[in-house]
Amino acid sequence: MRKYLALALALMLALGLCLTACGTPASSSAPAGGTSASEPATGPEDPSTSTGGDDVSAPSGGDTDGMVPKDNITVASQFIVAKIDPQYGAGQWEWSINRGVYDSLFRAPKMDYYACEPWLAEDYAYSDDLLDMTLTLRQGVKFHDGSEMTSADVVYSLERAMVSAYTNAALQAIDSVEATDDYTVVIHMKYTFPIMVEVLADYQFGAIVSKNAIETYGEGAQEAVVGTGPYKLKEWSADNNITLEYFEDYWADEPEIKKVTYRAIPDYSTAAIAMQSGEIDVLNYGLMTDLVNLADSGEFTVNSFLRDHTYGLAINNQLPPFDNVEVRRAISHAIDREAVNAIVSEGTGSTQTLSRTSPRGEGYQTALDEGRLTAYEYDVEKAKTMLAEQGIDENNRVTVNFVCPSPTMAQSFAAVMQEQLGKVGFDLDIEVMEASTYINRLATGQFGMSYNDSGLMPYFSPVLYSFQYGTGNIYNRDNVSIPEVDALLEQGLSEWDKDARNEIYAEMLEIITDQATTGVGVQTRAFIISTKGLQVYPDPVMMPSAVYDMHWGEHDDNAITAR
C-alpha cells in the first residue's frame, strides 16, 4: 500500500477543502493607493488543519526486524561544505557537521530547545537586575588537540560570534564578556534578554572553538577545526566528502555512532539510488516522488512532518522597481502558490502561512485571529492593472536578475516564478550558481529576485525575526529596511513578558505583510529517510540531525519531532 503517497494526496485534498472555505492566501496587505486587498484571512477552524511544525507523523519502520546496527554511517549531503566553523558557516550541512565537532555552552537534547540543559557551562546564574549572566564552566573538558577548554576559549568564541555577520544579530544583547577566572565567565548585557540560554544552546551562537587552534593555523584552515564535541575531523577529501570520528577523550556519554561520513551528492536521483542500494544511511532531500517511494517501500525508518520552514520568492526591496510597495503587492497577487506547491512540492506542503514566518512564531496567530494579516488573492488581471499604474506592462517589461542555487527544487521554483511573473510584465533572467556564491549574492544584495528558504523556530522568535526583517542583517533575504519594524524588533528582544512580546511581534508582522516585503511561498513537508532501525532526531527547521543523538532501536516518542 502506498501509504505515504496517500498521505500526500490526502494533504492536498485537505488543503484544497480548506482553501475553498478560506480563500487562497498568498500574502497580506492593507488597502493603499486605490488598490484593494482581499478580506481578512482567518485561521482554519479544525485544529487538524494546523500548519505548524508540530504536524508530525510518528516515525514509521519502527519495528526492528531486519535491523543491522552498526557504528559507522554515511549521511547524504546536498551541498558542498565550504567551511566547518560555527561562527562563520552559513549552510545547513555546515551547521550539521558543526553539531558534531563543537559543543555549545548549553544543549538542546534531541533538538528540543524547550528542554535546554547546561552543557559546557555546568551552571549559570543571573544578577538581580538580569543584566549579568555568570557561567560556571565544566572543568576537565578537552579539545580534540588534547588541550583543556578554559574561560579564555569561551570569551574568544563569544566575542568572535559577536562580530561575525552570520551570528552577531543573535548576540546583540551582549555588551561584553569577561573571564573572572579559568572556569568562570560573566556575560554583561546591554538590556535584559529572555532567551539567552536558548541562544547559547544553538550550534552557531553558543559553540566554543579553540582560541589557540584558530590563532595558530588561521581562519578556515582544516587544522583549525578543533572543538570539544563528540566527533573530531578525520578527513576532508578533495571530492568534498567529510568524515568525523568519535573523540575518545570526550567528556560526556559515548554515542552509539562512532564514525560518520558526509557524502556530497548534489544530484537528487543519485542520492535516492544511493539510499535504495544501501550506500548511505540518512537522506533528507530529493525529488518528492523519490522520497515518497522510499518512504512507501517499508524498507526504511521514516520521519515526516511539516517544518517550521518555508520556501518562496525573495524580492530585493531596495532595488527599483521593487522599492515600490505597489509593485510588490502586485507581485503577490501574481503568485499562484497552489501551483507552486503542486509543481515544486508535489502538493505535500502547506500554503496557509501568510508570511515568511512559521505559523508557530510569536505573534503570528494573534495577528491572524484578529484579522491583521490580509491575504492577497491570486488574481493575474488585478496584478496587471496595478503594475500598469506603475508603468509596467507588456510594452514596458522589466528584466529581473533571479539568482538561484543549484538544487533541483530551487530551479523548479525559479521556472515556476519565471512563468507566473512573465504573465504580468517581468522577464526573469535565471542565474544558477553553487551555494556559497548564492549565499554571498543574497547577503550583499546583488540580486533582483531569488529563491529563498527560511525557517523560524518558535522558541527563537526574537532572534530569528531580527535575522529575517532587521535592517542590514545578512539573513534579511528581502533586503527589508523599515524603521518601525526595527524599533519593534529591538523592543521584542528585551521583553520578558510573553504576552507583551506576542503583541509586539503581531504588530511587526502586520507591517511586514502590509508592505508585501516578500513573495511568500510554501511551508515544506520533511521526509527524513534512514536505514531501518536507525533513529534520527531532526531539527524541525533545518532537518539535519545531531549524529550524537542517533541510535538504533525504538524512537523516543518524547522527542520534539514526535509530538
The pLDDT tens digits for 94-125 are 888 999 999 999 998 776 767 889 999 999 99
Sequence-distant (≥ 6) Cβ neighbours of residue 425 within 8 angstroms: 384, 387, 392, 393, 394, 396, 397, 398
In 3D space, the residue among 45, 432, 99 whose CA is nearest the CA of residue 266 turns out to be: 432
Pairing of strands 426-433, 106-107: unpaired
Q: Which of 190-199, 209-218, 289-298 has the highest mean pLDDT?
A: 209-218
What CATH number should be reported for the domain whose range is 307-524? 3.10.105.10
C-alpha cell at 473: 542583517
**Model confidence at 526, in pLDDT bands (50, 70, 90)?**
confident
Res 44 pLDDT > 50: no
Looking at every residue in the chain, the average pLDDT score rounds to 85
Q: Can you say whether residue 12 is alpha, beta or left, with left for phi > 0 and alpha for psi between -120 and 50 degrees?
A: alpha
Give the pLDDT score at 38.
34
Where in the chain are all domains bearing CATH 3.10.105.10?
307-524
Give the pLDDT score at 61.
52
**Model confidence at 560, in pLDDT bands (50, 70, 90)?**
very low
Distance from C-alpha of 260 to C-alpha of 122, rounded to nearest angstrom? 28
Rounded mean pLDDT, 195-212: 93
Rounded mean pLDDT, 209-235: 96
Where in the chain are all domains bearing CATH 3.90.76.10?
79-233+246-251
The string of pLDDT tens digits covering residues 423-444 is 999 999 999 999 889 989 998 9
Res 325 pLDDT > 90: yes
The CATH number, out of the four listed (3.50.50.60, 3.30.565.10, 3.30.230.10, 3.90.76.10), of the domain defined by the range 79-233+246-251: 3.90.76.10
